[in-house]
Amino acid sequence: MCNKLYKHEMLSYLRKWLPIEIIILCVALLGRFVQFFEADTNAYNVIFGSTMFFYGTAIVVSFVLTFVVCIKRFHNNLFTGEGYLTFTLPVTPAQHILIKACAAVTVTISTLIIAVLSVFVLTAGEVAAEIFKAAAYILKEFFEVCNAHAILYIAEFLILLILSVFSGMLLIYACIALGQTFNRSRVGWAVAIYFIYYFIGRIITTILTTVLSLSYDSIPFEKIGRFIEQNPFGSVHIFFGASIIFTFIGCALFYLITHFVIKKKLNLE
């Protein structure tokens, strides 16, 4: 059942998301094409400059649009007219939420990959070769310095990246779901809840930093410094590990909220 859900999620994304990505690649191609006419003239500089500006804007827009498409898919497919069909499928709420999140993460990560790919399209030729060389050199150094830790770091980084995207999506899902518990202007409430969450987060951070700076003397900076010095590789693992755990807790919390609302409080309009 999950693979069918995923298939239909992706089919619906392809319709709206694929054109965005094709446009990105086309703009990158255009940018590369312009470079064939390189000349030290004002006209060329203006054209090249505006192409680059256009490309940069397109990349930003593609991320924003992808994000919007993901959010809209969740909201429309569950909580508008389409929800009548979605919620009468023999599928559990957990499957709905998780598969929707997985598909959204797939799309977001793909957007990221295509953005990187477009850089290579834009710079295809000598410049791209240089970038490859530089990247290879950095990687080589990285592996030499970190040895066995290198692979772990990359893995930890990728896990953190994916989890962060999940957490971002699930946060939005939770806000949308909580908005549904209201009788009126449910989308408005979802947005409000997002900002309330954001401000509470800000307040807590501010309080924490204030507390920390007030208790400056009691923090054993020296000990921490010494630990990092003695375990340089271990400290990075601890940093990644802690980040992963926190992000995961966030994911779990947002998921549970969404699940609770859909399972116990569903009231389609």
Partner 1 sequence: MTEILRVDGLVKKYAKTEALKGISLTLNRGKIVGLLGPNGSGKTTLIKIINGLLTPTEGEVYVDGKKPGVETKSIVAYLPDAIYLNSWMTVKQIVNYFCDFYEDFRPELAYKMLENLNISPNHKLKTLSKGNKEKVCLILTMSRNALLYVLDEPIAGVDPAARDYVISTIINNYNPDATVLLSTHLISDIEQILDEAVFIQNGKIILHKTVEEIREENGKSVDELFREMFRWEGTGPFTP
Residues that bind partner 1 (CB under 8 A): 1, 4, 7-8, 12, 15, 81-85, 87-92, 183, 264-268
Output 57 or 92, the one with its CB closest to partner 1.
92
Q: Closest Cα partner for 97 from 201, 213, 251, 202?
A: 251
Output 140 or 265, the one with its CB closest to partner 1.
265
Output 143 or 182, the one with its CB closest to partner 1.
182
Residue 245 — φ and ψ, nearest 5°?
-60, -45
Contact assessment for residue 24 and residue 116, using Cβ atoms and an 8 Å cutoff: no
Output 16 or 237, the one with its CB closest to partner 1.
16
Mention every residue, 6+ apart, whose C-beta is less than 8 A from residue 60: none
User: How distant, in Å, are the alpha carbons of 222, 228, 246 from that of 219?
Assistant: 9, 15, 22
State the minimum distance, in angstroms, from the CB of residue 39 to partner 1: 46
State the minimum distance, in angstroms, from the CB of residue 94 to partner 1: 10
Output 84 or 216, the one with its CB closest to partner 1.
84
- Treating both helix axes as pointing N-terminal to C-terminal, what angle do 93-122 and 126-146 enclose, rounded to 10 degrees? 120
State the minimum distance, in angstroms, from the CB of residue 97 to partner 1: 14
Output 83 or 241, the one with its CB closest to partner 1.
83
State the minimum distance, in angstroms, from the CB of residue 3 to partner 1: 10
Run of H or E residues at 54:
helix 42-79
State the minimum distance, in angstroms, from the CB of residue 265 to partner 1: 6
User: How distant, in Å, are the alpha carbons of 122, 156, 259 from that of 227?
Assistant: 45, 21, 42
State the minimum distance, in angstroms, from the CB of residue 19 to partner 1: 13
Query: What distance in Å separates the CA atoms of residue 150 and residue 161, rounded to the nearest whole number?
Result: 16
Query: What distance in Å separates the CA atoms of residue 4 and residue 103, rounded to the nearest whole number?
Result: 12
Residue 125 DSSP SS3: coil
Output 62 or 180, the one with its CB closest to partner 1.
180
Query: What distance in Å separates the CA atoms of residue 103 and residue 254, rounded to the nearest whole number?
Result: 17
Query: What distance in Å separates the CA atoms of residue 103 and residue 11, rounded to the nearest whole number?
Result: 10
Q: Closest Cα partner for 16 from 107, 129, 132?
A: 107
State the minimum distance, in angstroms, from the CB of residue 267 to partner 1: 5
State the minimum distance, in angstroms, from the CB of residue 77 to partner 1: 9
Output 35 or 181, the one with its CB closest to partner 1.
181
Tokens 């990158």 found at = 28
